[in-house]
Amino acid sequence: MAQHQVRYLQDGGLPVLLTTADKILQWGRSNSLWALTYGLACCAIEMMASGASRYDFDRFGTIFRASPRQADLMIVAGTLTKKHAEFIRRLYDQMAEPKWVISMGSCANTGGMFNTYATVQGVDRVIPVDIYLPGCAPRPETLQYAVMMLQKQIRRESAFQKLKPKRLV
């Protein structure tokens, strides 16, 4: 038997076929990001506006779901306080893999202007974040751009990779 024989079914699978399948799968995932309604403060109003008539989030396949079990994407819109921090972690853990997080607005990114005793200084201290969206409050277009960036990122990823735990800051 030749030494250089490739065993397609054992050593890492069929490369050509699976990259294409990856792409199709990730394309599908990126175009049906169902978001968990996680409106915490002012940014929630802009999040609602981007779901409403003028900005129309449905074009991106993004539909807001009330249950974490049905959601792929968590848009943390607003200030996270220490009193609420436990619940965001619990809801994040309840979401099914694969899952992504957009941190919307300055408060969710870094605590923003609220550097006080009550505020968590960035939601990335509690849950891992994929996209940070600056602004106070970001416009609906900006949120849609963030979703488009996330879609690009998802399309680059491999669909069958072993899910590594994401990094907390």
Partner 1 sequence: MKTPRREYPNRLEPFFENLVFDRDDNTMVINFGPQHPSAHGQLRLILELDGEQIVKAVPDIGYLHRGMEKMAENMIYNEFLPTTDRMDYIAATSNNYGFALAVEKLLGIEAPRRAQIIRTMLLELNRIISHLFWLATHALDVGAMSIFLYCFREREFAMDLMEDYCGARLTHSAVRIGGVPLDLPDGWIEKLAHYINKLPKDIEDYEGLLDQNRIWKMRLEDVGVIPPEMAETWGCSGPTLRGSGIPWDIRKEEPYELYDELDFDVPVTDSCDSYGRYKLYMQEMRESIKILKQLIPMYKESDPQIMAHAPQYISAPKEDIMTQNYSLMQHFVLVTQGMRPPVGEVYVATESPKGELGFYINSQGGPYPYRLKVRAPSFWHTSILQELLVGHYIADVVTIIGNLNIVFGEIDR
Binding site residues, partner 1, CB under 8 A: 37-42, 44-46, 48-49, 52-54, 64, 66, 78-79, 81-89, 91, 113-114, 116-119, 136-137, 139
d(CA 81, CA 107): 10
Q: Compute the least distance from the CB of residue 24 to partner 1, in Å.
A: 32
In the Cβ-directed half-sphere of 151, how many Cα atoms lie within 13 Å? 17
> For residues 112 and 132, which CB has a smaller minimum distance to partner 1 in the complex?
112
- From the CB of 91, what's the least distance to partner 1, in Å? 6
Please identify, using beta-carbon distances, which residue of 46 and 130 lies nearer to partner 1: 46
Closest distance to partner 1 from the beta carbon of 165 (Å): 14
Q: How far apart are CA 89 and CA 127, in angstroms?
A: 6
Minimum gap (Å) between residue 112 Cβ and partner 1: 9
DSSP readout, 39-61? E-SHHHHHHHHHHSTTT-GGGGT
Nearer to partner 1 by C-beta: 127 or 154? 127
Half-sphere CA count of 27, side-chain side, radius 13 A: 6
Q: Are strands 73-77 and 35-39 parallel, antiparallel or unpaired?
A: parallel
Residue linked to tokens 């602004």: 135
Which CB sits closer to partner 1, 88 or 150?
Answer: 88
